[in-house]
Amino acid sequence: MALRKDKTDRKVATSEITDYGVPHVAIIMDGNGRWAKKRGWPRLAGHRKGAEQIKKIVREAPDLGIRYMTIYAFSTENWKRSLIEVLGLMKMFRFMIRREADALAAEGVHLRFIGDRSRLDPALRETMDQIEDRTRGNTRLTLAVAINYGGRDELRRAAAQLAIDHASGKIGADELDDAALAARLDTAGMPDPDLVIRTSGETRISNFLSWQAAYAEYEFTETLWPDFTVEELTEILSRFGNRDRRYGGVKT
């Protein structure tokens, strides 16, 4: 396995992950609330700490060979949480997006959002639209943030659009294939994730990228998201590089 050193003289695994094309890492960032509770702090303090970790991971991701990253920020089920937590999260999303816009643009990050925006506050939607437009031409890293996202909801919306397009004559019956559905998913234009990471010790996928992650590799770590480091991500990528991915086939 090849190793190189980055500008801080920290060893970074490059391995053979590039053999699979442009790598896409998806992360279920779990454990913010538990991290805060262990310290006797409100749950939102954990979310704020988790947001700081996102910045660190995103900054280093391209140097680790990652070109696409999708992070699970708020699910369609998270509306069930307390009103204080939900409102606090929405306020934090808007603040963080605005605050980090310049840095993301300068670092070549293309920021896009996936999920159903119809339930989000209009001011937040406007902020999301603005930074998507501003960073659209960036190519160093595509960062997809899932807000009010659920895999089943995404498939329902894509299937509904496919039915509308078929009924209107935009697409024929012989064109109703996997590619047609994928083109109507929120992640259209992005490669499927190669690797899905979930923090906090939970071992379920929680309605995340149900279609896209059908052939992804999974890593589950006990680390709570606010404690997840670039070094741990590097170790996970090293293990990923040693996996034998056959996509249902058999190598001779």
Residue numbers in the known binding site for Mg(2+) are: 30, 217
Q: Is the dihedral of CA 121, 128, 154, 47 positive or negative?
A: negative
Catalytic residue chosen out of the listed positions 78, 116, 165, 192 = 78
- In angstroms, the CA 218 to CA 239 distance is 11
| Radius of gyration (C-alpha) of the chain in whole angstroms | 19
DSSP state letter for 193: P
Query: Which residues are annotated binding-site positions for substrate?
Result: 31-35, 43, 47, 75-77, 79, 81, 198, 204-206
Annotation says 102 is catalytic: no
Residue 128 · residue 117 · CB < 8 Å: yes
Q: From residue 129, how far is each of 35, 110, 141 by CA, in Å?
A: 31, 12, 18
CA 155 to chain centre: 17
Residue 192 · residue 215 · CB < 8 Å: yes
- In angstroms, the CA 201 to CA 222 distance is 4
Cα separation of the two ends of the chain: 22
Query: Which residues are annotated binding-site positions?
Result: 30-35, 43, 47, 75-77, 79, 81, 198, 204-206, 217
Catalytic residue chosen out of the listed positions 6, 9, 30, 177 = 30
Q: From residue 171, how far is each of 164, 174, 188, 189 by CA, in Å?
A: 9, 8, 17, 19
Annotation says 153 is catalytic: no
DSSP state letter for 17: G
Coil, strand, or helix at residue 12?
A: strand
| Residues annotated catalytic, as ranges | 30, 78
